[in-house]
Structure 1
Amino acid sequence: MAKPIVLGVLASGRGSNLQSILDAINSGEISAEVGVVISDKPEANALKRAADLNIAAVCVDRKQYKSQQDFEQALIKQLQLYKVDLVILAGFMRILSSYFVNAYPNKIMNIHPSLLPAFPGKNAQQQALLYGAKVSGCTVHFVDEGMDTGPIILQQPVPVLADDTPESLAARILQQEHMIYPQAIKFFVEGRLQLEGRLVKLLSK
């Protein structure tokens, strides 16, 4: 029997996307396991979620390292220790350099709360409202060396309502994030994602 794909989840906050992934694994939707959850913040709730489920929970605190590369070397060391096959960014609030990206080429996924390439970076929901967008949403993409510029795997639109605030829009987008992130991971685990330049093709089963 083939060894299951091991996920390494990097998170800085609550870990709600982490939970949606764990739920999909527990239900049998995704044939994978979370080998380690890593956070750059010792107080991150994602670490508590992991520890409560007996999943390795590791803090790699950026403040403890002199340089970005030292910090990323420590991240990579932990991912290698737990034999991670696919790196999942789930609310990880650090920009990763080409050094890190090249260590896991086409094996790092991120989810962003807009329909990329619109509204990259921070405060995407507020950007959408200020721009007057009628539709926003979320995007799962492979991570490259730019900010939210990697090849797009899945997207889900979310209507922008007339009375939306950044918080209300974010909450509705988050509901969709919890749906499409596990779906994208499932496709990767099943070997159904084929990358041709910037184009991610979904292969049939």
Structure 2
Amino acid sequence: MNHSRPDAPSVARNREPILEVLREHFAACRKVLEIGSGTGQHAIHFAAALPHLAWQCSERTETLPGIEAWLASAALPNTLPPLQLDVSKPWPASGYDAVFSSNTLHIMAWHEVEQFFVRLPDALERPARLVIYGPFNYGGQYSSPSNAEFDQWLKAGGAHRGIRDFEAVCALADAQGLTLIEDRAMPANNRCLVWTF
């Protein structure tokens, strides 16, 4: 691993299918807030492919140097300096008409997932889109044996972690006035959930 530019191998596997979703649903958007940018590799790939968007990364403090390294190496005109963001604390001021988050809800504690949705309306200007990528359970059941194994691995790393139930997440979104417009199957038993606001 390059310590200045951390590498997430899953990005190379999932970035093109996610980009297809973003091309469609962020076509009319201007400014995206990415919650939990991880290494920053998604950000530079999507910002390069979608030059009409201003892309705002955000992460916890300890992860920001890696994101900054990737952004600096790409030197794209439409990526903004990354923000320190904890979903349970105040978010940046409104001005975003899109929010994207990948593989975050199963890492957060459930109370943080709740805060994610509670704070969304304050950051968004209508009309807006929300796209969330990751694994989900349906009807309380795993969608594949590999997701069941992944959930066990998550919980072994922290009891607060785990694959979330689609219905519970949708209920949080509904409570904030978001409308689910697509639930798209993705490779490796993941989904892209898309809401309009």
TM normalised by structure 1 equals: 0.45
**Higher radius of gyration, 1 or 2:** 1
Write 1 or 2 for the structure with the bigger share of helix.
Answer: 2
TM normalised by structure 2 equals: 0.46
